[in-house]
């Protein structure tokens, strides 16, 4: 039996979205949301019937054509023309999970009753969501202001029976799916095309998914770095609470405590050390990983505000008898947040690669390149190259997009956020971080074997036992690509909920979205 999430005025959180998407919940509108949508639509219809006053995008042209009035008999054509003409996306296909989040967020934004759409239009979006019908959306085409126009146009084409959708893993014409479900295309009425296209749901959906990936990757980076610390015969003293109480950044404090939990019964960490200090990539893990966690928390606050906002234009206020053309579609808050997230997550990869470098350097009793008979065997020489290459690519992706702008629409839209570009860059960068920390796990697990018969902590040994089912200890040179890919898949195979259950099985109680 299907489980439903009710769209209402209640705050939609990251935890809610994680459950909706990965527990396959279906959506329905609350009665209050239905009433608000109907009230705004009735108010707009009355305004247009009673007055010949121009309202931007409702009975006028769009962008720099805002001064051209449109006849009442052409208002449906105006809105459908808008959707078709703005469907100019190109590039790669947006992943279906992100398209599903786009649908959810557009439904949520329209549910507030400030957009003037038909209830039938919102219900059709819900139909698509509940039946896993995903409009084909492209990654390129949005300037991140005036809303995510091109991506949202592609999201909206199936509403009017046009475009393509993915259904049951097949790309089909929308008409095929409408026929299967016995649905007719929605006939858009005044303002509806604009309400669908103006908005930040492309950027924000990427933001939601990037946050889910970031929370998980950040936690995994802590686990893997703790394995590296033990494999490098590192010291636990830099993780002592006393150090972090006197510089009490929240993320830093959490990381230090987490490492002590991960390593609390390790024979290796407890043995006497011949060295007084570790390199920064080990000693400063709480400061570096912790700063990233604090950044993720900041970005999450921005994204959650956006999720629970109305971002189309004009905005309709029935109680105040106002229709106001403004700029809630501008993605500047998101663009800045994405750039901050990119930089913070790039640092997780950056410091991870430095630990890989230390592990293969033949230090502290470890063989050069973590293999017997170095020279005859190159061992783990080149995985570090691969990690370094990805780290450098991430530095390029982390260059801020928000400092850029470009004039569009004949100068009417003269400052844009580039938040959509930042969002896609963030997604690609975080996927790269997954690859880098997977390479660190590959190296750290190999290095730890050279500490035998000493054991690491119970948790780490159990974690590595699960990993060893996928990736073996490397005794001599072989094609390491295959093992790196298996390492990446080992980290990717769990969504956040499943990963929390996985950790719980090994005695670690964790809530990754409440780090």
Predicted confidence at residue 66, as pLDDT, reads: 63
- Same domain for 194 and 286, yes or no, is no
**Nearest C-alpha neighbor of 292 from the set 353, 354, 346:** 346
- pLDDT of amino acid 508: 80
Model-level pTM? 0.95
- Both 359 and 438 in a single domain? yes
Last residue of a domain, one of 199, 233, 258: 199
Beta strand segments in 155-308, E: 164-167, 170-173
Q: Can you tell me the distance from the alpha carbon of 340 to that of 481, in angstroms, rounded to the nearest whole number?
A: 32
Residues 192 and 234 in one domain: no
From CA 242, how far away is CA 261, in angstroms rounded?
16
**Distance (Å, rounded) from C-alpha 217 to C-alpha 210?**
10
State whether 111 and 90 are in the same domain. yes
CATH number for 42:
1.10.275.10
Q: What is the pLDDT of residue 434?
A: 98
Same domain, 193 and 216: no
Last residue of a domain, one of 144, 174, 199: 199
- Indicate if the alpha-carbon torsion angle 286, 292, 294, 296 is positive or negative: negative
pLDDT tens sequence for the chain (515 residues)? 789 999 999 999 999 999 999 999 999 999 999 999 999 999 999 988 887 787 777 777 666 666 677 677 777 888 899 899 999 999 999 999 999 999 999 999 999 999 999 999 999 999 999 999 999 999 999 999 888 999 999 999 999 999 999 999 999 999 999 999 999 999 999 899 999 999 999 999 999 999 999 999 999 999 999 999 999 999 999 999 999 999 999 999 999 999 999 999 999 999 999 999 999 999 999 999 999 999 999 999 999 999 999 999 999 999 999 999 999 999 999 999 999 999 999 999 999 999 999 999 999 999 999 998 878 888 899 999 999 999 999 999 999 999 998 888 777 778 889 999 999 999 999 999 999 999 999 999 999 999 999 999 999 999 999 999 999 999 998 999 999 999 999 999 888 888 888 888 777 877 888 75
Beta strands per DSSP E along 33-145: 90-93, 133-135, 138-140
- Do 8 and 62 fall within a single domain? yes
Asked whether residue 42 falls in the same domain as residue 64, the answer is: yes
Q: Domain check: are 283 and 345 in the same one?
A: yes
Structure confidence at residue 473 (pLDDT): 95
Residue with tokens 């095309």: 193
124 and 227 share one domain: no
Listed residues 147, 176, 199: the one ending a domain: 199
Q: How far apart are CA 401 and CA 339, in angstroms?
A: 7
Partners of 322 in the β-ladder: 317
What are the tokens at 23? 């527990």
Q: From 109, 287, 90, select the one nearest 197 (Cα to Cα).
A: 109
Q: What are phi and psi of 58, to 5 degrees?
A: -100, -50
CB atoms within 10 A of CB 442: 26
The answer on 500 and 431 residing in a single domain is: yes
DSSP 131: T
Q: How many CB atoms lie within 10 A of CB 431?
A: 15
Q: What is the pLDDT of residue 239?
A: 98
Helix intervals (H) in 308-399: 332-359, 381-397
User: Residue 62: what pLDDT?
Assistant: 66
pLDDT at 391: 98
**Number of domains forming the structure of the chain:** 2
β-bridge mates for residue 138, sequence order? 93
- Residues 151, 65, single domain; the answer is yes
CA distance 217 to 236: 22
- 229 with 157, same domain: the answer is no
Q: What per-residue string of b and e applies to 128-146 under the rule 16 or more CB within 10 Å gives b?
A: bbbeebbbbbbbebbbbbb
The two structure tokens encoding residue 345: 């997550």
Q: Domain range holding 94?
A: 4-199
Q: What DSSP line would sit under 222-252, residue for residue?
A: HHHHHHHHHHTT--SGGG-HHHHHTS--HHH
Interatomic CA distance for residues 126 and 1, integer angstroms: 18
Question: Which domain CATH number covers 510?
Answer: 1.20.200.10
Q: Give catalytic residues, as residue numbers.
A: 56
Q: Per DSSP, what are the bridge partners of residue 323?
A: 316
CA distances from 290 to 211, 247, 399 (A): 16, 12, 21
Q: Is 276 helix (H, G, I), strand (E, B) or coil?
A: coil
Residues ≥6 apart with Cβ < 8 Å to 100: 21, 129, 132, 134
């Amino acid at each position: 039996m299907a489980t439903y999430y009710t769209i209402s005025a209640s705050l939609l959180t990251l935890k809610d979205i994680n459950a909706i998407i990965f527990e396959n919940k279906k959506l329905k509108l609350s009665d209050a949301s239905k009433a608000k949508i109907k009230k705004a639509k009735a108010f707009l219809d009355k305004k247009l019937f009673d007055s010949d006053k121009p309202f931007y995008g409702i009975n006028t042209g769009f962008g720099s054509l805002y001064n051209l009035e449109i006849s009442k008999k052409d208002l449906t054509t105006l809105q459908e023309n808008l959707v078709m003409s703005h469907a100019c996306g190109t590039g790669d296909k947006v992943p279906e999970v992100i398209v599903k989040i786009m649908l959810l967020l557009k439904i949520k934004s329209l549910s507030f009753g400030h957009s003037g759409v038909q209830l039938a239009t919102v219900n059709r979006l819900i139909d698509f969501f509940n039946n896993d019908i995903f409009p084909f959306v492209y990654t390129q085409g949005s300037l991140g202001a005036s809303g995510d126009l091109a991506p949202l146009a592609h999201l909206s084409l199936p509403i009017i029976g046009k475009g393509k959708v993915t259904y049951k893993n097949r790309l089909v014409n929308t008409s095929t799916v409408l026929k299967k479900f016995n649905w007719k295309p929605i006939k858009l009425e005044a303002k509806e095309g604009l309400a669908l296209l103006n908005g930040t749901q492309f950027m924000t959906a990427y933001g939601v998914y990037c946050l889910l990936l970031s929370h998980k990757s950040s936690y995994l980076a802590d686990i893997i770095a703790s394995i590296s610390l033990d494999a490098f015969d590192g010291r636990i003293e830099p993780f002592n609470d006393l150090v972090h109480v006197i510089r009490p950044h929240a993320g830093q404090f959490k990381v230090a405590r987490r490492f002590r939990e991960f390593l609390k019964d390790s024979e290796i960490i407890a043995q006497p050390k011949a060295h007084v200090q570790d390199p920064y990539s080990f000693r400063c893990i709480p400061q570096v990983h912790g700063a990233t966690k604090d950044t993720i928390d900041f970005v999450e606050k921005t994204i959650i505000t956006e999720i629970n906002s109305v971002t189309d234009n004009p905005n309709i206020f029935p109680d105040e008898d106002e229709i106001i053309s403004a700029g809630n579609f501008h993605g500047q808050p998101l663009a800045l947040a994405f750039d901050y997230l990119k930089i913070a997550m790039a640092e997780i990869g950056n410091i991870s690669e430095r630990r890989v470098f230390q592990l293969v350097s033949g230090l502290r009793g470890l063989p050069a390149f973590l293999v017997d008979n170095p020279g005859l065997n190159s061992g783990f020489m080149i995985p570090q190259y691969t990690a370094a290459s990805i780290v450098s690519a991430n530095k390029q992706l982390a260059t801020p997009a928000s400092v850029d702008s470009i004039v569009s629409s004949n100068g009417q839209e003269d400052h844009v956020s580039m938040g959509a570009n930042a969002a896609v860059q963030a997604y690609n960068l975080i996927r790269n971080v997954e690859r880098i920390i997977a390479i660190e796990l590959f190296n750290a697990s190999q290095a730890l074997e050279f500490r035998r018969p000493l054991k690491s902590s119970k948790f780490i040994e159990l974690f590595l036992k699960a990993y060893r089912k996928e990736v073996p200890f490397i005794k001599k040179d072989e094609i390491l690509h295959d093992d790196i890919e298996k390492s990446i898949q080992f980290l990717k195979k769990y969504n956040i909920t499943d990963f929390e259950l996985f950790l719980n099985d090994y005695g670690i109680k964790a809530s990754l979205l409440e780090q």
